[in-house]
Structure 1
Amino acid sequence: MNNRSVLISGAGIAGSALAHWLHRFGFRPTVVERADALRTGGHAVDIRGTARRVAELTGIVPQVRRAHTGARGMAFVDRRGRPVAKMGTDVYGDSGGPIAEMAILRSDLARILYNATGDRVEYVFGDSITRVDQGGDGVVVEFEKGGTRRFDLLVGADGVHSNVRRLVFGPHRDHVRDLGCYVALYTMPAELDLDGWQLMYTMPGGNGRPGRTAALSPVRAPGMVRAGFFLRSEPLPLDRRDTEGQKRTVLRAFEGEGWEIPRMLSGIADTDDFYFDRVGQVEVGTWARNRTVLLGDAGYCASPMSGIGTSLALVGAYVLAGELAAADGAHGPAYAVYEHRMRGFVDRAHEFARGAGDGGLMPASPARLWMRNQSVRILPYLPGNLVGRGMDRVAHTVRLPDYTAPLHR
């Protein structure tokens, strides 16, 4: 087999899933991760459609089910906490609806995939790539902590703010469509019994303030919940690593509001898993350049609020590894078939995410909030469950080859 050594940047869902499949198909993957350890916290993610089959083939379904967040639906509430509209996970089936039947914290899924590789894959934590030189016979990379190494292939699986994409494909601004809002998430002690429901309290825009939503979601950890804030805003001059500045932004945006927000904000200072980011959609003309290829959010993030990104990452990892194996390591043909198989899925996911917009989380006026609530109330009764079926069609876009069978063309 040609091109057996593969460097993967990013130890998240896409990177660890790819490492698992590459090793299984006879390659020698190495994963480099900027963080000192696997990241904690973050948002809940859904495994939908074809990605469920990938999870089965990976052998992680029992672990995923044990790590389920416990969410059984989403409920929009008023200032007093009374439900005004609800959607259960069973309304739209496996793949539809805001919360899928397979819902798990991003960090839990990344840990399960990391454990699935055992000690068979080399992981390098606390380092990152600073330079990439591609040649006819390999890729030479320089690392932030010093030293260079040569690999046959390089994969950028390092998220929306991909370092590999910046080094090989160009600046962040050239590949990210701004969707006009921010999201913040962190875990905190529970003071409210959610009874398995993700509670959403929405404040419509007006009087110079934009539409916003605060959310409380169940997690596996006893006595804990996940706080979430969604804010429509112009881009703010915030450094991605200025955690304190990001927390102040959330405090200013939601101070003085009702429901559970005062208690939620009181826990923001002490949390150690705070996540904050600008919401964007990644659009790259082609995902491969010479020996380097992009995977998951680094190449085609639909939106952190789309509910489809994890499925894109899992299916993409399986297809990329499978095509490299099927091509006996010939990266040019393998990358081309990988993109051909995945492009329709990605395009449909992007279109779905743009069509869904912010999901009614940041309505511009009280009238739009009212319309959101009425829409949610009638959705279960629409012919054919139109919204859920739309998500289900997107999630089943790829016809999945069985790369685990003897590989030949």
Structure 2
Amino acid sequence: MKNVLISGAGIAGPALAHWLAAAGCTVTVVERAPAPRPGGQAVDFKGEAHLKVLERMGVLDDIRRLQTGGTDQTIIDAEGRTLGTIPGEFTGGTVEIHRGDLATLLHDHTADRAEYIFGDTITSLTQTDDGVHTTFHHTPPRTFDLVVGADGIHSTVRRLAFGPEKDFVEFLGHYYALADIELDSDPVMYNEPGRMVAIGGPKSPAFLVFASPELEYDRYDVEQHKQIVARAYRGGGWRIPELLDRLPHTENLYLDTISRVHVPTYSRGRVVLLGDSAYGNTLGGFGSGFAVVGAYVLAGELLAAGDDHRTAFTRYESLFRGYTKVAAKANAGPFLAPPTRARMAMRNWMFRSPLMLKLMLKSTDWFATSIDLPDYTFTPTPA
């Protein structure tokens, strides 16, 4: 079977490693971070397709054991008065888990069947008729049969195999930040035009979304990120001054754009994209589900096609392109941080209307289940 390199040890990468190892492949996962990334916001799974894949992986019971519970979140004004309630079933799906807990779980689930290289990254990919010659920042060069980019919206693999990020990533006018800042509070969300703060809940970081022109900054400079957030929230009401006072002292802060990925095809030769590197990061609530279902479909098609990776990649894209169409339209930025008080009031009214809430829940369930999931049998092909 094939010797496969996966870039990225978040959710999509380890999920794919599980299925490829089950199919008899030799799997290597390379990750820039020194270990599975802790923390992060809660992610959720919903609908039959998501849960069926997790159950087949053998991790659904563990996810339920670690789940956060999908707590209701109260929308408040500057005086703390309730304006509406976002139900846990809307934000948390069928089952919700913190991203760091899920990444650790998936890593531990596959660590004895796949090689993990942490603290390193790919520096070049050279495709030949027989494989992909790969160089790394630290690890000696190696050649793989296939390379998978499961390394997020700022994918190194996509850049090396497809071209510059600017050609494929569309900035949608908002940034989001996660900061390990705890303020004593039940789960609440506070808005001012063009900016949002959500706090509360066990292990939950402060979650911030704000409108902004596109900024130039170092993605790995946390101190610079703190300055950007401080500028974006300067003059804010409610408990924003308290949050900004604590901001310089937090050790963990993540800042990124809300953006959409457009790729004409998911593969180039022996290189293929999976998860946010292919389907984008619009904070629409589908990213984790797309990652685990996509990993299942990609691995299943590779197993079914044997040595014909071209057919496998074509089938994977054919099955998955329609399923991810919501990512091509979604943009949670204006929903989470409405640009005007009128838009804020309209958003809050939607959560007070039983009919609108029912329609929103129904639409998210439909998007999550709108794939005819093949029934792959992951039995290794004899050598």
User: Shorter-chain TM-score: what band?
Assistant: over 0.9
Distance 2:183 2:61 in 1: 27
1:37 equivalenced with 2:35 (yes/no):
yes
- Deviation at 1:302? 4.5
Structure 1 counterpart of 2:260, which letter?
A: Q
Gaps of 5+ in 2: none
Q: For each residue in 1:310-357, what CA deviation from the matched residue of structure 2 results, as whole angstroms up to 9, or x when unmatched? A: 111110000001111111242111111111110111113423x14xx4
- Deviation at 1:405? 6.5
Contact 1:16–1:114 under 8 Å retained in 2: yes
Distance 1:301 1:342 in 2: 13
C-alpha RMSD of matched pairs (Å): 1.8
1:213 equivalenced with 2:204 (yes/no):
no
Structure 2 counterpart of 1:258, which letter?
A: G
Structure 2 counterpart of 1:78, which letter?
A: D
Stretch moving more, 337-346 or 145-154: 145-154
Secondary structure of the residue aligned to 1:258 is coil
- Deviation at 1:406? 6.2
Q: Name which of 139, 142, 148 aligns with 2:141.
A: 148
Q: Name which of 277, 285, 291 aligns with 1:298.
A: 277
Structure 2 counterpart of 1:148, which letter?
A: P
Distance 1:322 1:218 in 2: 38
Structure 2 counterpart of 1:150, which letter?
A: T
Distance 1:403 1:138 in 2: 26
Counterpart mapping for 1:193-342 below 5 A: 194=186, 198-204=187-193, 211-219=194-202, 221=203, 225-303=204-282, 305-342=283-320
Distance 2:344 2:211 in 1: 14
1:99 equivalenced with 2:88 (yes/no):
no
Contact 1:37–1:125 under 8 Å retained in 2: yes
Q: Where does residue 156 of structure 2 map in the other structure?
A: 163
- Deviation at 1:68? 1.5
Q: Where does residue 359 of structure 2 map in the other structure?
A: 386
Distance 2:15 2:125 in 1: 23
Contact 1:41–1:274 under 8 Å retained in 2: no
Q: Where does residue 369 of structure 1 map in the other structure?
A: 344
What's the TM-score, normalizing by structure 2? 0.94
Distance 1:269 1:151 in 2: 43
- Deviation at 1:407? 8.9
Q: Where does residue 80 of structure 2 map in the other structure?
A: 81
Contact 2:279–2:327 under 8 Å retained in 1: no
Structure 2 counterpart of 1:34, which letter?
A: R
Secondary structure of the residue aligned to 2:336 is coil
Q: Name which of 107, 110, 119 aligns with 2:112.
A: 119
Distance 2:259 2:239 in 1: 28
Secondary structure of the residue aligned to 1:376 is helix
Q: Name which of 2, 14, 17 aligns with 2:15.
A: 17
Distance 1:102 1:199 in 2: 20
- Evaluate the alpha carbon distance shift between residue 309 and residue 255 of structure 1 in structure 2; reply closer, same or farther with a 3 A threshold: same
Q: Where does residue 172 of structure 1 map in the other structure?
A: 165
Q: Name which of 327, 342, 346 aligns with 2:324.
A: 346
Contact 1:157–1:296 under 8 Å retained in 2: yes
Q: Where does residue 62 of structure 1 map in the other structure?
A: 61
Q: Where does residue 396 of structure 1 map in the other structure?
A: 369
Q: Identity over the aligned pairs, expressed in percent?
A: 43
Distance 1:316 1:45 in 2: 16
Distance 1:371 1:103 in 2: 27
Contact 1:160–1:297 under 8 Å retained in 2: yes
Distance 1:9 1:159 in 2: 9
Contact 1:71–1:218 under 8 Å retained in 2: no
Secondary structure of the residue aligned to 1:158 is coil
Secondary structure of the residue aligned to 1:385 is helix
Contact 1:48–1:100 under 8 Å retained in 2: yes
Q: For each residue in 1:162-216, what CA deviation from the matched residue of structure 2 results, as whole angstroms up to 9, or x when unmatched? A: 0000000000011111110100102233422x1xxx3110002xxxxxx111111
- Deviation at 1:129? 0.7
- Deviation at 1:124? 0.5
Q: For each residue in 1:291-312, what CA deviation from the matched residue of structure 2 results, as whole angstroms up to 9, or x when unmatched? A: 0000000111241x20001111
Distance 1:66 1:235 in 2: 40
Structure 1 counterpart of 2:373, which letter?
A: L
- Evaluate the alpha carbon distance shift between residue 391 and residue 248 of structure 1 in structure 2; reply closer, same or farther with a 3 A threshold: same
Distance 1:217 1:349 in 2: 28
- Evaluate the alpha carbon distance shift between residue 162 and residue 218 of structure 1 in structure 2; reply closer, same or farther with a 3 A threshold: same
Q: Where does residue 208 of structure 1 map in the other structure?
A: none
Structure 2 counterpart of 1:113, which letter?
A: L
- Deviation at 1:283? 1.1
Secondary structure of the residue aligned to 2:322 is helix
Q: For each residue in 1:38-72, what CA deviation from the matched residue of structure 2 results, as whole angstroms up to 9, or x when unmatched? A: 11222221112211111111111121112222432
- Evaluate the alpha carbon distance shift between residue 66 and residue 245 of structure 1 in structure 2; reply closer, same or farther with a 3 A threshold: same
Distance 1:179 1:189 in 2: 28
Distance 1:200 1:99 in 2: 15
Contact 2:260–2:327 under 8 Å retained in 1: no
What's the TM-score, normalizing by structure 1? 0.89
Distance 1:140 1:10 in 2: 18
- Deviation at 1:146? 5.2
Contact 1:157–1:294 under 8 Å retained in 2: yes
